[in-house]
Chain A
Amino acid sequence: MDFENEMKLEFISKSVNEAFARISIAAFASQLDPTIEELADIKTAVSEAVTNSIIHGYDNKQGIVKIVAKLKNNEIIIEISDNGKGIENVDIAKEPLYTTKPNLERSGMGFTIMESFMDSLEIESIVGLGTKVTMSKKIKPKTEENDEFELISNA
């Protein structure tokens, strides 16, 4: 496939890197001229996936989180992967409010947020090997009329 742009990011599984990851992806995604709302959706979904890798995949032990982001036409495709412990049952993990760590005040909303804030979500996981989350979002092209409207509403 012929992608317009592509980037890769690797960092160790420290929770301070959650902000770094979502801000980096947002900066990359801004090439598609997203709205503030679309950008917030992407940042939130990335934050959820990276947090999952750090907290659940690596269980706060040190590992590497990898992100590959691709831009194709008006779409951003983001793959976030770890070599952590994997998810035993992806269907159960995806259920709203399901969490394996309720005592740590986890809401169990991670996959639900990724699913509803992005256009597509795919989870591949092998127990003992790791998890890869692939999600995509189409950025609506802006017409000149919309631009004008935005200028007025921002004034």
Chain B
Amino acid sequence: METQYYKKDKLLVLKITEEIDDCSVQKIRRKADYEIERYMPKRVVFDFDSVTFMDSAGIGLIIGRYKFTNMLGGKLEVANLTGSIKKIFEMSGILRLIPITTLENISDIEETA
């Protein structure tokens, strides 16, 4: 997972770079919670652009991070859902709570780690 924090906008982008299953999810969860707690962002965006595989463990991961981010006063969003990953998200119903966002304009934002 790659982390980028945009200080001005209090935006934390967590780009998942591994396959997401029951095995890998524990490590991703630990790292994500650590980063969320460290930056206390207003917005957390999980970027799925580099995810080549995800099963239902990914939904558990996102529901958990959604609760955690909310608890700390932030909002969670997801970006770059495609193919079967998008199908699983749609089936789960969590897109009613978690908006899909785009990361296209984010590179314009001043970046401070």
Residues of A within 8 A of B (CB): 15-16, 18-19, 22, 36-37, 40-41, 43-44, 47-48, 51, 54-55, 104-110, 112-113, 116-117
B35 interface residue, CB < 8 Å from A?
no
State which of B23, B25, B55, B83 has its C-beta within 8 Å of the C-beta of A37: B83
State which of B55, B61, B87 has its C-beta within 8 Å of the C-beta of A47: B55
Q: Can you report 6 residue pairs joining A to B where beta carbons are below 8 Å apart?
A: A18-B21, A37-B83, A43-B53, A47-B22, A47-B53, A113-B55
B40 interface residue, CB < 8 Å from A?
no
Given contacts A36-B83, A109-B91, A110-B56, 19 further A-B contacts (CB under 8 A): A15-B21, A15-B22, A18-B23, A19-B19, A19-B23, A37-B84, A44-B53, A44-B84, A44-B88, A51-B21, A105-B60, A105-B61, A106-B60, A107-B57, A108-B56, A109-B59, A109-B88, A117-B84, A117-B87
Task: Check if B55 sits within 8 Å of A44, measured CB to CB.
Answer: yes
Task: Check if B64 sits within 8 Å of A105, measured CB to CB.
Answer: yes
Total inter-chain residue pairs, C-beta < 8 Å: 67
Complex formed: what's the CA distance from A107 to B53 in Å?
17
Complex formed: what's the CA distance from A103 to B71 in Å?
17
Give chain B residues whose Cβ lies under 8 Å from the Cβ of A117. 84, 87
Give chain B residues whose Cβ lies under 8 Å from the Cβ of A18. 21-23
Task: Check if B22 sits within 8 Å of A107, measured CB to CB.
Answer: no
Task: Check if B63 sits within 8 Å of A107, measured CB to CB.
Answer: yes
Nearest B residue to A39 via CB reads: B84
Give chain B residues whose Cβ lies under 8 Å from the Cβ of A41. 84
Within the complex, the shortest CB–CB distance from A72 to chain B, in Å, comes to 24
Within the complex, the shortest CB–CB distance from B22 to chain A, in Å, comes to 4
Within the complex, the shortest CB–CB distance from A103 to chain B, in Å, comes to 10
Task: Check if B84 sits within 8 Å of A112, measured CB to CB.
Answer: no
Chain B residues 11 to 67 lying within 8 A of chain A, measured CB to CB, are 19, 21-23, 25, 29, 53-57, 59-61, 63-64
Task: Check if A48 sits within 8 Å of B61, measured CB to CB.
Answer: no
Give chain B residues whose Cβ lies under 8 Å from the Cβ of A37. 83-84
Within the complex, the shortest CB–CB distance from B7 to chain A, in Å, comes to 29
B4 interface residue, CB < 8 Å from A?
no
Nearest A residue to B23 via CB reads: A15
B92 interface residue, CB < 8 Å from A?
yes
Within the complex, the shortest CB–CB distance from A59 to chain B, in Å, comes to 13
Give chain B residues whose Cβ lies under 8 Å from the Cβ of A47. 21-22, 53, 55
Give chain B residues whose Cβ lies under 8 Å from the Cβ of A104. 60
Q: Which 5 A-B pairs have the closest CB atoms?
A: A15-B23, A105-B60, A107-B59, A109-B56, A40-B84
